[in-house]
Every structure is written in structure tokens, then in C-alpha cells.
């Protein structure tokens, strides 16, 4: 069964490179990014995991824990981690699930048989502190993901969770945001006392309230 936005992220216990963990306990009251890659010791995956390790401080700043997954074994993960450090210049600094029985892969619908009937595709799930799924992405094996875009999207999710705004195309933290259509101009006067720039009655911009 596919996991949709707003669904509760299924909990699981799994063996990882940092020991056995329970997803919910490991998340605590923060956010998580759960992502799968097809296979250890493959080129695109090597670059992706190195990049996630480089970006770890930027995930930490946002109170987000990152966890990877493939159907490879713990031993394979540890061996491959040495190659990631050697070729990508950074040590693996987040847990990798060894989903050898494919239990989590099936729970999260990460195996798409028409793409590959045994390996996981490149799935991404962003899970909020209430354990709700807030973003899903699916990329094929041949295409490495852009983890800067995932961070950008999380900035939007965290902002719009706390303020009645939405973020426009190509938005980045600090850019103007949009007052959501459900807020009337009367309400907007109270919520946005500095006023707004109105291009259409439904297109009202205000400065990013967090910058
Ligand atoms: C890769 O990471 O390079 C890769 C993995 C599985 C299939 C194709 C490419």
C-alpha cells in the first residue's frame, strides 16, 4: 500500500550501522528523513551518501535526523562506508538500515517491481514530529537526488507548519512568502500588520516571517 502525504509513518525496528533502533524512539520529538538507495558499492549511491554526510550539519540545524536504507547487509554497509569516506572525503555520520528481509522496504513501498523486483528505488520520506509523512519523493536508480532541494523543501514545510503562509516557486529561506487564500484581508491585517504586496486578490506576498 502506497504511503501518502498526511499518513502516519509506519513504525519499525531495524538493524542499522549504529545498532538496532525503533524509528519512533530514535526520532524522539524531531523530524526525520528516511531514504532508500538501490545498492551498496554502486557509483550514484556512493555520491549520494557522501553528499548526505556532508550536509549533516544542515540537517542538524533543522532538528532533522537522517536515516538511509538498502537491502544490503550490515557487513556490506560497513565495508562500503570505508569507500564512501575514501572517495567522498567524509565519514558516514548517520545510520544505514540493513533491510535484508525487505520488511521496511515493503512497509514503505520502496520496491517497485516494474523498475526492479528486488532492489529499492530511491525513495525519500520526510516525517514530522507527529510522525506524519510530509513529503514523498521517488527517483529511479539512474538518477541521483538533489539533497539541497530536500533541505529547501523542509525549510518550507517547517515554515508553513508554524505560519499561515505558503512558499512560491523556487522559494528559498528569506524570500517573500504568500498569504494562504483561506486568510481574508481582514484577518491578514491582524496577522501581518506590516501589510502585504497584492498582485491579485489571491496573490499576496509578505516577507518571510522567520528572517
Ligand atoms: C548507482 O548507484 O550507480 C546505481 C545503483 C543501482 C542501479 C544503477 C545505478
Encode the chain (211 residues) as per-residue pLDDT tens digits: 799 999 999 999 999 999 999 999 999 999 999 999 999 999 999 999 999 999 999 999 999 999 999 999 999 999 999 999 999 999 999 999 999 999 999 999 999 999 999 999 999 999 999 999 999 999 999 999 999 999 999 999 999 999 999 999 999 999 999 999 999 999 999 999 999 999 999 999 999 999 8
My answer on whether 17 and 89 are in the same domain is yes
Q: Is residue 138 part of a domain?
A: yes
Asked if 207 and 165 touch (Cβ cutoff 8 Å), the reply is: no
Tell me the pTM.
0.97
- Ligand 1 and 13: CB distance under 6 A: no
My answer on whether 136 and 104 are in the same domain is yes
My answer on whether 138 and 182 are in the same domain is no
Atom of ligand 1 nearest to the CA of 46: 2
Domain residues for 25? 13-144
My answer on whether 129 and 87 are in the same domain is yes
The residue whose C-alpha atom lies closest to atom 7 belonging to ligand 1 is: 141
* CATH code for the domain in which residue 185 is found: 3.30.1020.10
Q: How many domains does the chain have?
A: 2
**Using N-to-C axis directions, what is the helix angle for 43-54 and 147-162, rounded to 10°?**
40
Residue 69 alpha carbon to ligand 1 centre in Å: 14
My answer on whether 37 and 140 are in the same domain is yes
Residue 170 alpha carbon to ligand 1 centre in Å: 28
Residue 38 alpha carbon to ligand 1 centre in Å: 6
* CATH code for the domain in which residue 129 is found: 3.40.30.10
Element (H, E) at 133: strand 133-139
Give the catalytic positions in this structure. 45
Asked if 64 and 154 touch (Cβ cutoff 8 Å), the reply is: yes
> Residue 201: which residues within 8 A CB-CB, separation 6 or more?
none
Question: How far lies 54's CA from each of 41, 91, 164, in Å?
Answer: 19, 9, 32
- Ligand 1 and 44: CB distance under 6 A: yes
Amino acid at each position: 500500500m502506497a504511503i501518502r502525504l498526511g499518513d502516519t509513518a509506519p513504525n519499525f525496528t531495524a538493524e542499522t550501522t549504529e545498532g538496532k533502533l525503533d524509528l519512533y524512539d530514535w526520532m524522539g520529538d524531531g523530524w526525520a528523513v528516511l531514504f532508500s538507495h538501490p545498492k551498496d558499492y554502486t557509483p550514484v549511491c556512493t555520491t549520494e551518501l557522501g553528499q548526505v554526510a556532508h550536509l549533516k550539519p544542515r540537517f542538524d540545524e533543522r532538528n532533522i535526523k537522517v536515516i538511509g536504507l538498502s537491502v544490503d547487509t550490515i557487513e556490506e554497509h560497513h565495508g562500503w562506508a570505508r569507500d564512501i569516506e575514501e572517495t567522498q572525503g567524509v565519514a558516514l555520520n548517520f545510520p544505514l538500515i540493513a533491510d535484508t528481509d525487505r520488511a521496511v522496504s515493503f512497509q514503505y513501498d520502496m520496491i517497485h517491481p516494474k523498475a526492479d523486483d528486488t532492489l529499492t528505488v530511491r525513495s525519500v520520506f520526510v516525517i514530522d514530529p507527529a510522525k506524519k509523512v510530509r513529503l514523498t519523493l521517488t527517483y529511479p536508480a539512474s538518477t541521483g537526488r538533489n539533497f539541497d532541494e530536500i533541505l529547501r523543501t523542509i525549510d518550507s514545510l517547517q515554515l508553513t507548519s508554524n505560519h499561515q503562509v505558503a512558499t512560491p516557486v523556487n522559494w528559498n529561506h528569506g524570500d517573500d512568502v504568500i498569504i494562504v487564500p483561506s486568510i481574508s484581508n481582514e484577518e491578514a491585517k491582524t496577522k501581518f500588520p506590516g501589510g502585504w504586496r497584492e498582485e491579485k486578490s489571491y496573490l499576496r506576498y509578505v516577507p518571510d516571517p522567520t528572517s
